[in-house]
Amino acid sequence: MTIMITLCASVRELSMCNPDAISDVHGPRSKIRKGEFYEQIHPAHSLQFTRDPGQHRQQRRYWDKAFQVKALQDYTPRLVKHYKIIIDIFTADSATGGQINVSRLFMDLFFDVVCDLTIGKSFNSLTTGERNPIITEFLAQQQRLGFVLLNMWIFHLIRCIPLVVSGIVSWIQWRTSSGVSRDLREKCSSRKRQWYANALEERKQMQRIPSDLYTYLSQSDTFESAGVHETQLAIVTGADTNAITVSNACYLLCQHPEYQQKIYKELSDVPTHEIMVDYRHLMSKHYLLSIINETLRLYPPFPGGLQRQTPPEGATIADPRAFPRPNDFVPERWTSQPNLILRKGAFVPFSYGTYNCAGKPLAMMQLRMVIAMFVKKFELFFAPGKKIACERYIQDQADCFALHINPVPLVPKERINPKHVM
């Protein structure tokens, strides 16, 4: 007897690159929910790593409070403190003609800033020149785990092929841990959680400290159980994304130096100390914003997109072009050449809809302040003899969920007799 078995197979996971799908997938009326990527820390949770819409809504209220205008104004003095440190570093290197690895410095800057804003104390990476092991571990782990996190199907594959389970598991452990044993990895993870728990306890004991992220996030009823993961989320996502964007902007401004002069001219009526004190002076500077937008369009910090799970009834997707000359750096598309934007809704560097980035107001404030501050005070150039290294800065960028960037050697030159210098 012959038995015929028909297997109906269909694609379970799709990668979409379609501007028209953004509102359908991420919009407020969408029935599409977060995918299993966001269950990494289950049964624990944070604002980002939860698939429960109700839980997300509850926690999002406190995050939104932390980024209101009044809160941003309260944070400014601490931002300025750290900005002055990195300005002094650039000034010293400018005097000697030394080159600077700006990707390293900006990563240290923003980790110092966001740690200060989250738990009331800085990592002090800029002042000491030494990175906290928490930062080093995160950056190393990001490179190793990027491919696994973006290919969650590999875990389903393991469960479906029992005969090769042990081999695949061994391979994943080797690939993601560089030979580190499971026990040691668990100890490292436990040590990391303990560091955040200790930092939270220290912040809790601080008296008369200015308002910070902890002030608002700790008001949540779930903070007692979710505080460690919420703190880690604030520090990690609030640091590397800004560092990536500012580093990329510096690279592009060196590649297109005429835009440094255009920003400098636009900022001519803003004293340098005002940039540091009140970012609202920068809100009307459209050319500065166009540089930021074009940098985010070309090199988004999360280039691979965000995973979502479709409902059983599915979705229909189309694929029109969004940006003519998509690979060119053309800031004018955001100002005087709107014809170079066919689908403005396709530009969502902070995501869109219910799960958009809560920290966007703080991120945009810092991007405006830092880029304006450096262009106002310095001219930036590629380091002599480092052309190939600078070119590879972009070529070797890797999608590890967040973008992984390499060293980029630049030389700052302090502007001659700049007006209104600090």
Q: Which residues are annotated as a binding site for heme?
A: 357
Q: Which amino acid is at 14?
A: L
List of residues 6+ apart from 418 with CB closer than 8 A:
272, 376, 377
C-alpha–C-alpha distance, residues 44 and 58, integer Å: 15
C-alpha–C-alpha distance, residues 46 and 44, integer Å: 7
Strand intervals (E) in 306-416? 308-309, 378-382, 398-400, 402-404, 409-414
Q: Which amino acid is at 131?
A: R
C-alpha closest to that of 126 among 209, 213, 239, 252 = 239
Q: Which 8-state DSSP code applies to residue 306?
A: -
The DSSP secondary structure of 191-211, one letter per residue, reads: HHHHHHHHHHHHHHH--SPPP
Residues that constitute the known binding site: 357
Contact 60, 358 (CB under 8 A): yes
C-alpha closest to that of 293 among 363, 394, 354 = 363
Q: Which amino acid is at 258?
A: E
Contact 373, 343 (CB under 8 A): no
C-alpha closest to that of 82 among 122, 49, 44 = 122
List of residues 6+ apart from 284 with CB closer than 8 A:
none
C-alpha–C-alpha distance, residues 75 and 213, integer Å: 9
Q: From its phi and psi, is residue 414 left (phi > 0), alpha (psi between -120 and 50) or beta?
A: beta
Element (H, E) at 101: strand 100-101
